[in-house]
Amino acid sequence: MNTIDDLCDRLKGYLPADEIQQVRRAYFYSEQAHDGQKRSSGEPYVSHPLAVATILANLHMDYQALIAALLHDVIEDTSVSKEAVAHQFGDVVADLVDGVSKLTQITFESKAEAQAENFRKMVLAMAEDIRVIIVKLADRLHNMRTLGVLRPDKKRRIGRETLDIYAPIANRLGINTLRLELEELSFKGIYPMRYKQLKLAVAKARGNRKDIIKKIQAHLQEKLEEEGLAGHVVGREKNLFSLYNKMKEQKKAFKAIMDVHAFRILTDSVDDCYRILGVVHNTFKPVPGRFKDYIAIPKANGYQSLHTSLIGLSGTPIEVQIRTREMEAMANNGVAAHWLYKAGQTDHPIAEGSHARARQWVKGLLEMQQRAGDSLEFIENVKVDLFPDEVYVFTPQGEIMELPKGSTPVDFAYAVHTDIGHACVACRIDRKLAPLSVKLHSGQTIEIITAAGARPNLAWLSFITTARARSAIHHYLKQQQRTESATLGRRLLDKALSQFNVQLENISEARLAPLLKEMDVNSLQELLEAIGLGERMAYAVVRRLLSDVEAKTKTNNDQEESMVIHGTEGMVVSFARCCHPIPGDSILGHMSFGSGIVVHRDNCRNLSDVREDPEKCVTLRWAATVEGEFSVNLRLELELYRGIIARIVTLVAEMDAGLDRVSVDERDARISTLTLGVLVRNRVHLARVMKKIRSIHEVNRVVRLR
């Protein structure tokens, strides 16, 4: 279809005449707006929006989406404004066009940042109208079809972006026709030689296999007719990119992948699908563990089908997919089927369900983008979330939840609700306690145990899979760090001011304003956060804030100058691994940029160069009661014999202390050195543990490592 007349002839099959006339008017409006503009290939620019509208017409999209496709570049590339589009074609079309348009007014630091921000804007528009992404996918598909005139490096960059973002989105929305072509064209753009070689190899293999495919196809068709079942057997073509991926992931040769023959059986009803499955399994021997029922439990994108693997004639491996014709339409068109059925003025439960799932997914994207710190972080989260494989698990109430393959109970908790994820402390899988890091499998029942006051653990980020969980944890930890750093910053500033007999609450806003401007911060809260994170030094801030007269009235009360450590300060106060300070030790704090205070023992050698610098060190003291356990290293010299390490570990446990590390360094045949990482509450607790260990006859010496 190269002309507007061809497009309108295509639309007569499903749109009324007045809507087709609107589409025709939009084409001439676009042609006039793009007058004089050419594509890289030399063609008039209007040929591109016309091709995009044609792709959407093949999906039976409604007239507003078609008009948006014809106008999708006018706001960005011409002098036409959004308001002008709205005046001519209505607000709905104007919003669609604006959602698809790229950002042009903002200068970005990098190409990646620009792409990420464009995508973020598109997600916001998608939340209002899912058609935005369908128009964008069609736009990207035509751009991929016309990559030929571009430089190889541009082809690779655009192909990679398509493969990372747009093809997975098409898959997530179930629009298989677009996904397959996007993947194929991306593969061709990124690896032209591999694509060419694989295409030749596939053509040759198909020629050699024609007879056996026809034989299996005829055999299956004959069996269905014998049973009186209405089913149409077709050979299934394998996508080149899919073949390439299988060869790479499964580390198999081309021949091993192509030896598997794929067939699809289309029928009229769900009932017939299961009956045909029985016939297929009676005809050829099924491979155990390779049957998947996506009809009873559809994929997240709405895909439904029965999948089975069999051993066919002469031991030939066979893959068979069985589905209804409606399921086939859904597999090809996904969320676009919503408009395909709407065009016939009838709602369809499968299409409506797919549309509802897509809306739910976009809602989740919107939540993620609100939590993300910037566009790059958001787009990385989205990439993680565009998963092809799912596991299906149950809540204790029997509801099915879809999660990506490799998900853990923490992912499940955040999928239920963000607050459940934040308060998660343990889980039961099939009524048995299990670690939070264990991978979930389909069919399991998951129960999350929560506790009031619990909060996300930084360690969870090392094993979670879903973007929802990752973005929620990042958002919580950022907020927590900001709160804790502001609290610590206030304490540090109060401490520094107290040396000059000044209190922060007595300083007026008028006096603070010049300081905030000088420090290039927007508020006192922001300044306190920077002080707490070690990005600004409290001592230096005070010197800038006070007048010369005030700066001379310094007190000498050392007790007041020492800041109290309670052990509950959170992420902005950490304990040095070099000297392992514990309550009862004399301590000194080192301001670490971006991390807050690192607590060291007063005699730690690593502080020798900065000990006297008030801008880098803070005098500290422990609170009367300190919460938590603290790690300390002990070195033992002992006579090694079978079972002595177990005996030491048991004694440490009896003293209500924990162990986080044990290592043995043998010195000679009889005497060995053992290093223990012991978790204690304070120096008194440590002394009791060391005394208990010394009571073992074979232990010659116990010392605390500095």
The mean predicted confidence, pLDDT, of the chain is 82
Task: State the pLDDT confidence band at 127, using cuts at 50, 70 and 90.
Answer: low
Which residue from 579, 620, 584 is spatially nearest to 603, judged by alpha carbons? 579
Extract the tokens encoding 340.
Answer: 């395909």
**C-alpha distances in angstroms, 79 versus 41, 43, 73, 135, 548?**
23, 21, 11, 21, 60
pLDDT, position 581: 92
Q: Which residues contact 550 (CB under 8 A, 6 or more apart)?
A: 500, 502
Gap between the Cα atoms of 498 and 490, Å rounded: 12
647-652: average pLDDT: 88
Give the tens place of pLDDT for each residue, 189-215.
999 999 999 888 888 877 667 778 888
Q: How far apart are CA 401 and CA 412, in angstroms?
A: 8
Confidence at 238, pLDDT banded by 50, 70, 90: confident
pLDDT score of 629 more than 90: no
Distance of CA 548 to the CA centre of its chain: 53
Residue 511 has pLDDT above 50, yes or no: yes
Cα dist from 226 to 22, 231, 280, 365, 464, whole Å: 52, 11, 12, 50, 51
CB 696 within 8 A of CB 624: no
Q: Compute the distance between CA of residue 572 and CA of residue 570 in angstroms, rounded to an integer.
A: 6
pLDDT of amino acid 344: 46
| C-alpha gyration radius of the chain | 34
Decide if pLDDT at 322 tops 90: yes
Give phi and psi for 182, each to the nearest 5. Answer: -60, -45
Q: Is 259 a catalytic residue?
A: no
Higher pLDDT, 349 or 214: 214
Given this model, what pLDDT does residue 28 score?
92
Q: What is the largest distance, in Å, between two alpha-carbon atoms of the chain?
A: 105
Query: Residues 6 or more apart from 272 whose CB is under 8 A from it?
Result: 229, 230, 231, 324
- Domains annotated for the chain, with CATH where assigned, are 4-190 (1.10.3210.10), 207-342 (3.30.460.10), 474-622 (no CATH), 630-704 (3.30.70.260)
**More confident: 173 or 622:** 622
CB atoms within 10 A of CB 705: 12
List the catalytic residue out of 76, 128, 535, 602. 76
- Catalytic residue check, 161: no
Catalytic residue among 19, 77, 526, 637: 77
pLDDT classification of 429: cutoffs 50, 70, 90: very high
Give the model confidence (pLDDT) of 516-575 as tens digits.
Answer: 887 878 888 888 888 887 777 777 787 777 765 555 555 554 444 678 888 777 777 888
pLDDT band at 240 (very low <50, low <70, confident <90, very high): confident
Q: Residue 28 has which token pair?
A: 């001439």
Least confident of 227-236, 341-350, 671-680: 341-350
Backbone angles phi, psi at 630, to 5 degrees: -125, 140
Lowest mean pLDDT among 71-75, 92-96, 105-109, 517-521: 105-109
Report the distance separating Cα 47 and Cα 64, nearest Å: 19
Between the ranges 241-245, 333-337, 558-562, where is the mean pLDDT highest?
Answer: 241-245
Tell me the mean pLDDT in the region 61-78.
88
Query: What is the Cα–Cα distance from 574 to 533, expressed in whole angstroms?
Result: 11
pLDDT of residue 340: 47
Task: Please say if the pLDDT value at position 407 is more than 80.
Answer: yes
**Alpha-carbon distance values, 577 to 431, 487, 582, 605 (Å):** 39, 24, 11, 12
> Which of 569, 512, 563, 561 shows the shortest CA–CA distance to 541?
512
For residue 260 the two structure tokens come to: 């598997």
CB 438 within 8 A of CB 384: no
Res 366: pLDDT: 61
Tokens found for residue 154: 């541009």
Q: Residue 10: which pLDDT band, with cuts at 50, 70 and 90? A: confident
In this structure, what token pair is assigned to residue 14?
């499903």
Neighbouring CB atoms inside 10 A of 488's CB total 25
The pLDDT of residue 106 is 45
pLDDT tens-digit series, residues 135-166: 888 999 999 998 887 888 889 988 988 888 88
Count CA atoms closer than 13 A to 93's CA, side-chain side: 26
What is the predicted pLDDT for the residue at 35? 87
pLDDT, tens digit (0-9, with 9 covering 90-100), for 389-401 = 678 788 888 887 8
Note the helical H segments in 90-145: 91-100, 111-128, 131-145
Chain-centroid distance of CA 76 in Å reads 30
pLDDT in tens, 566-604: 877 777 788 888 889 999 999 988 888 777 888 999 888
